[in-house]
Amino acid sequence: MAQPLISPSILSADFARLGEEVRAIDEAGCDWVHVDVMDGHYVPNITIGPDVVKALRPHTDKVFDVHLMISPVDQYLEDFANAGADIITIHPEAGAHTHRTVQAIKALGKKAGVSLNPATPESALEYLIDDIDLVLVMSVNPGFGGQSFIASQLRKIKAIRKMIDATGRDIHLEVDGGVNPETAKDCVAAGADVLVAGSATFKGGPGQYAKNIAALKGAV
- Judge contact between 128 and 114, C-beta under 8 A: yes
Residue 148 Cβ vs ligand DX5, minimum distance, rounded to whole Å: 8
Cis peptide before 118 (omega within 30 of 0): no
Give residues in contact with ligand DX5 (CB under 6 A).
Answer: 9, 11-12, 34, 36, 67, 140, 142-143, 145-147, 176-179, 196-200
Residue 146's binding partner out of ligand DX5, Zn ion, none, with CB under 5 to 8 Å set by partner kind:
ligand DX5
67 binds Zn ion (CB under 5 A): yes
**Rounded to whole angstroms, how far apart are CA atoms 56 and 138?**
25
Residue 47 Cβ vs Zn ion, minimum distance, rounded to whole Å: 10
Residue 140 Cβ vs ligand DX5, minimum distance, rounded to whole Å: 6
Residue 133 Cβ vs ligand DX5, minimum distance, rounded to whole Å: 18
Residue 41 assigned as binding residue: no
- Judge contact between 67 and 91, C-beta under 8 A: no
Q: Which residues contact 21 (CB under 8 A, 6 or more apart)?
A: 10, 13, 14, 202, 206
Site mask, Zn ion, residues 14-43, x = CB under 5 A? Answer: ----------------------x-------
Among residues 135, 155, 213, the alpha carbon closest in space to that of 179 is found at: 213
Q: Which of the following is catalytic: 36, 39, 65, 193?
A: 36
Q: Which of the following is catalytic: 39, 133, 176, 186?
A: 176
Stretch of 50-58, 63-71, 98-106, 164-172 lying at the interface with Zn ion (CB under 5 A): 63-71
Q: How far is CA 48 from CA 44, 52, 66, 67, in A?
A: 13, 6, 11, 11
Residue 165 assigned as binding residue: no
> Sheet containing 32-38: which strands, arranged edge to edge?
5-8, 194-197, 172-176, 134-138, 111-116, 87-90, 63-69, 32-38
Active site annotation includes 86: no
Among residues 67, 56, 7, 53, the alpha carbon closest in space to that of 32 is found at: 7
| Positions in 158-187 near Zn ion (CB under 5 A) | 176
Residue 198 assigned as binding residue: yes
- Upper half-sphere CA count for residue 74 (Cβ side, 13 Å): 12
Q: Which is nearer to ligand DX5, 50 or 145 (CB)?
A: 145
Question: 3-class DSSP state for residue 135?
Answer: strand
Q: Which is nearer to ligand DX5, 122 or 176 (CB)?
A: 176
Active site annotation includes 176: yes
Residue 146 assigned as binding residue: yes
Q: What residues are annotated to the active site?
A: 36, 176
